[in-house]
Amino acid sequence: MFGDFSDAAGEAELRAVVERCERLKSAAAAAQARATALWAAKRHAAEDAAGVRKDKRGKGLAAEIALARHDAPAQGNRHLGFARALVHEMPHTLAALETGALTEWRATLIVRESACLSVEHRRQLDKELCADPARLSGWGNKRIEAEAKTIAARLDARAVVERIDKAAAGCAVSCRPAANNMVYLTVRLPLAQGVGVYAACKQAADTTADERPRGQVMAETIYQRVTGRAATAPVPVALNLVMADTTLAGDDDELGWLPGYGPVPAGFCRALIGQAALDEQTRATLRRLYRHPQSGQLVAMESKARIFPKGLAALLDARDRTCRTPYCDAPIRHHDHATPHRAGGPTSARNGLGECEACNYAKEAPGWTVTTAEVEDIHTAHFRTPTGAVYQSTAPPLPGPPPQRRSIIEDGITIDLITFDAA
């Protein structure tokens, strides 16, 4: 085996194993790109022969490619575009990847920076940058990116400028967890606006005379100017914090769940709720969620609404947390039927799934089927792709302490009792 080595191996031998593995990863990425491009070509040919309309061809393929790579379906278009560009337009970059002169990410940077060019210019960039793989030795990510940008701007400055202008439509805000109950709030803005926001925060830090760290002042300035409230004030927007009633009462210290972040300590949950409850300007509401005593999964929720978009949609949000497609962590945007309503699928919690927009549309492509079941009281969804692969997704349990078991003896028979609780 290529990864075999003895515990008695010397440092030089171990370094050689690490280098060999890195080259193999690059070669595998090149093979993966070739297979992906060929897969796309075969799918296109089959749909062409079947008379599928041009605007319908390839629907769902990108999501299928992403699942095969154990990646979020939303990343499928990037993988497919990368493969097609390497195989059909950038042979030198593909060869450099194949020999290990480039990593997959550095090859991705080259493809990305050349995306705005015509095919002829892209091939010229490919030749100029990667025809001599030895030239790439020692280059890091930033050097690769800078060289590709320089060549692209020289070949077609207008295309580069047009791409920058179009990028404004890609402005976005995202949030992901950080350590110690912190988050990374990322805002993608045009250059002038982004620098302007940073300059305003910097000015606030320069003119604030207190003991707070500089970074804290800048971060709190953004919060105050966006929300109009002091950073120390309770949060007035719906956070949908999920925690067990026993944790809220202080009977245990089980973790809670905060959408957009993940598990949070019990003390933080109680402090957050306490601040909101005591603030006259903030309306704190409670909703009871009922979890299964064995699996801990959500089985019911109090709701006056009886139509799918309200009561059941809220239940799906709390049960699924994020998009239920395997490997996808995107926020839930759609509440959809696993078995379509047009095919007789019921509007129920069992048949309902929380999905992101891209995944919901992808599973509507021909050849895709989704089925749901409750296996040992755990809600499970199975996604079958047109090539016959099956991927499984299970809903996570609600926060709270483990089910409490006790035994009683009646007429010489031992009966195990499981306490039903509400989270």
For position 248, what pLDDT does the model report? Answer: 74
Q: How sure is the predictor about 88, in pLDDT bands with cuts at 50, 70 and 90?
A: very high
**Do 182 and 133 share a structural domain?**
no
For position 418, what pLDDT does the model report? Answer: 44
Choice between 243 and 61, residue whose per-residue pLDDT is larger:
61
**Do 21 and 128 share a structural domain?**
yes
**Do 106 and 17 share a structural domain?**
yes
Alpha helices in 69-208 (DSSP H): 76-89, 91-99, 104-113, 119-130, 141-155, 157-166, 191-207
Q: How far apart are CA 410 and CA 239, in angstroms?
A: 47
Q: With a cut of 70, say whether residue 136 has pLDDT above it.
A: yes
For position 304, what pLDDT does the model report? Answer: 36
For position 295, what pLDDT does the model report? Answer: 62
**Number of DSSP helices (H) and strands (E) in the chain, helices first:** 14, 13
**Do 142 and 122 share a structural domain?**
yes
For position 254, what pLDDT does the model report? Answer: 79
Whether residue 255 is contained in a domain is answered as: no
Whether residue 239 is contained in a domain is answered as: no
Q: With a cut of 80, say whether residue 243 has pLDDT above it.
A: no
**Do 147 and 63 share a structural domain?**
yes
- Average pLDDT over the chain reads 83
**Do 43 and 182 share a structural domain?**
no
For position 288, what pLDDT does the model report? Answer: 62
Structure-token pair, residue 90: 């950038």
Mean pLDDT of 148-168: 86
For position 235, what pLDDT does the model report? Answer: 61
Max intra-chain CA distance, the chain: 90
Cα–Cα distance list, 399 to 137, 264, 266, 302, 315 (Å):
50, 10, 10, 17, 15
Whether residue 250 is contained in a domain is answered as: no
Q: How sure is the predictor about 66, in pLDDT bands with cuts at 50, 70 and 90?
A: very high
For position 324, what pLDDT does the model report? Answer: 93
Q: Looking at the DSSP assignment, which residues form a beta bridge with residue 291?
A: 298
Domain that holds residue 369: 298-394
Whether residue 260 is contained in a domain is answered as: no
Q: How sure is the predictor about 281, in pLDDT bands with cuts at 50, 70 and 90?
A: low
**Domain boundary pick from 126, 150, 167:** 167
**Do 17 and 140 share a structural domain?**
yes
Q: How far apart are CA 264 and CA 246, in angstroms?
A: 15
**Do 213 and 126 share a structural domain?**
no
Whether residue 131 is contained in a domain is answered as: yes
For position 321, what pLDDT does the model report? Answer: 87
Q: How many domains does one find in the chain?
A: 3
* pLDDT, tens only, 301-332: 443 333 455 777 888 888 888 899 999 988 88
pTM more than 0.85: no
